[in-house]
Amino acid sequence: MSNNKSVAPGYSTATYRLFEDKADFAKKAEGIAVGLTVGSWTELPEVAKQKMEKYLGQVVSIEAHEPEGAAPGERYADITIAYPDLNFSKDLPALLVTTFGKLSMDGRIKLLDLNPSSDFLSAFSGPKFGMQGVREKLGITDRPLLMSIFKSVIGYDLPNLREQFLQQALGGVDLIKDDEILFENPLTPLEKRVETCVDAAREAEKVTGQKLIYFTNLTGPTSKLRENARRAIDAGANGLLFNVLSYGYDAMAELVADPSINVPIAAHPAMAGAFYPSPHHGIAAPLLLGKLIRIAGADLSLFPSPYGSVVMPKEENLAVQAALLDPSLPLKAAFPVPSAGIHPGLVPLIMRDFGEAVVVNAGGGVHGHAHGAAAGGRAFRQAIDAVKAGIGLADYATDHEELRLAIERWGVREA
């Protein structure tokens, strides 16, 4: 994930994993470098070459993996190509189409990484708040944050939504997000939903003394996204959830670039599974849900945790986190939110793997608590406190009833 320091300024690089049983990887790499830039090279007259050289792609590196007696399908190379920034405009569709437009269809090839040049990156302001900014809004700097998700939203009306919100908030969660499949609908229309939930947040704050960010799902036609975001914010929303991959990264970058949209944005990974899981095709998760999400400006990025039902291998999870935090990128860090299948008994594992630069995010693990969602939230907070205090969950649970009940239901996986 590191930047290619050896690459000249003014070039952005792309790294691919290319599977080929027989191809000459050097020739293939050269073909990409020429084919996706100036189109033809060797047959050009010398004078044309001089004029065209600044537009020509460059092969940066080829790392071939050709084990002795490799079975068919095992031979591959990781190929890095440098593309002149001159060739494309400073937006993510242009970068992606240049580096992985036609090439995505050229056999078994996966886009592993992109390292945009400083010049390209200068067009992006990145996360408006970032991990620290979200922490500051909440006044919490010394522990992972806790997020919860509504249990059920479709077909429920405002009073029901309010009650679900209130119970979650009373448990001491820091962040509550809409379900990503909650669209504009007559039962809980955007502004009413925001007003209702923000009102419940206020009520809970009186009890918990704790601030909370509510991420309202931002939906609708692409050209109305900014207007809808402002409507939500005017109604009191202090966060937005966005299904970025269904609209394209640029739609998020434009939301972020709008100074009037001054609340944190959480990027939901809906449709990400269409891209990252195949070893042979698509876009690697650390790029898809890490670096590009951060360049496009999300403050938080959700992705499938390595613990639950919707699984991404742990190594890949940690690479997503690394991309969201990577200090070599001149943008604020974005908060990693490994999601799905999370219960309080997993908190030691989460904090061992991710440290404190993580949002613990749960749905069923909050709502499924024997004493309800508020108790579920408290169980999570107790689990976090226990790990912070260096106490095993089972021990800590002896005088923390909510945690005890959670462990009774879901068990515990100490780190």
Neighbours of 272 (CB within 10 A): 22
Which is nearest to 153 in space by CA: 143, 142, 138, 168? 168
Q: How many helices (H) and strands (E) does the chain have?
A: 18, 13
Q: Least distance from C-beta 168 to a copy of itself, angstroms?
A: 15
Query: Closer CB to a copy of itself, residue 106 or residue 326?
Result: 106
Q: Least distance from C-beta 284 to a copy of itself, angstroms?
A: 11
The first and second tokens of residue 56, run together, are 């020509």
Query: Closer CB to a copy of itself, residue 292 or residue 351?
Result: 292
Which is nearest to 169 in space by CA: 207, 209, 201? 201
CA distance 297 to 180: 19
Query: Closer CB to a copy of itself, residue 103 or residue 393?
Result: 103
Question: Phi first, then psi: what are they for 178, rounded to 5°?
Answer: -60, 160
Question: Phi first, then psi: what are they for 204, rounded to 5°?
Answer: -65, -40
Query: Closer CB to a copy of itself, residue 105 or residue 389?
Result: 105
Q: Least distance from C-beta 386 to a copy of itself, angstroms?
A: 30
Measure Cα distances from 258 to 218, 222, 249, 252 in Å: 15, 14, 15, 10
CA distance 308 to 284: 20
Q: Least distance from C-beta 292 to a copy of itself, angstroms?
A: 12
Query: Closer CB to a copy of itself, residue 37 or residue 208?
Result: 37
Q: Least distance from C-beta 150 to a copy of itself, angstroms?
A: 8
Whether 211 is catalytic is no
For 139-143, which contacts have Cβ atoms below 8 Å and span 24 or more sequence positions? 139/211, 140/174, 142/356, 142/388, 143/356, 143/384, 143/385, 143/388
Diameter of the chain by CA atoms?
Answer: 82
CA distance 179 to 175: 13
Q: Least distance from C-beta 6 to a copy of itself, angstroms?
A: 23
Query: Closer CB to a copy of itself, residue 97 or residue 331?
Result: 97
Among candidate residues 49, 51, 54, 102, the one labeled active-site is 102
Which residues are known catalytic residues? Answer: 102
